Structure 1
């Protein structure tokens, strides 16, 4: 039992994402990758260079469907990104929002908001939650125009 735990611990990888708001560095998000459950999802990590999130408000990033075959069926309203998105799971029945932030990477054939998004990893530090909370509030938009240009640059 202990040996299996150690093996899983060694396999776990961390994805580091530097965050810039309007060109100014705001910090780094750290994600615990979930490659052990979906190893194919980690093959494309090297392609994850820069991606933009135009809106990071809760409304734009809610994930409303359960995991299907180890993937999230994601409805991110009109949020389209080339590589990925950050979101929270929302329980449809209770309306409660999960406190875990998750990074998603879309499949290669992107077919709109109903694409299957691979779960890449979860936020693991309290500072990361505080930074994401700041990003949510600072990125509120009016007339669908985001107030801030928010960029993530991620690497292993």
Structure 2
């Protein structure tokens, strides 16, 4: 499972003309689910993201977590994180999990964040979304659950 985590001033997701998810200060998480990912991968990333110390403390040092600053999360599914661009000009997505499996693990990830007491907004799974991200810093991290164990 892969996540692009961005510290933001605000973020939103629009489907069609409807804003379906919106947050203020916090994190936008673009989440990709790969073949072979498990519930443990989803739990690991949710726990890691909720506790990452990437918000400034009183001295301006990144030393506070999302939980400590009372931030929000906007979680957006993004299978393209498993795009393989090594051959040709068109990415291949054979490493991405099938939609049914990906949806289940994405929802597990979201619920794990909610269980941490974090306010979570989401996009819409398998929909074309416009994602607005006002990156703060900029701070952008790449996490991969398969590199964690």
Normalised TM-score (structure 1) = 0.26
The structure with the greater share of residues assigned to helix is 2
Q: Which has the higher contact order (CA 8 A, sep 6+)?
A: 2
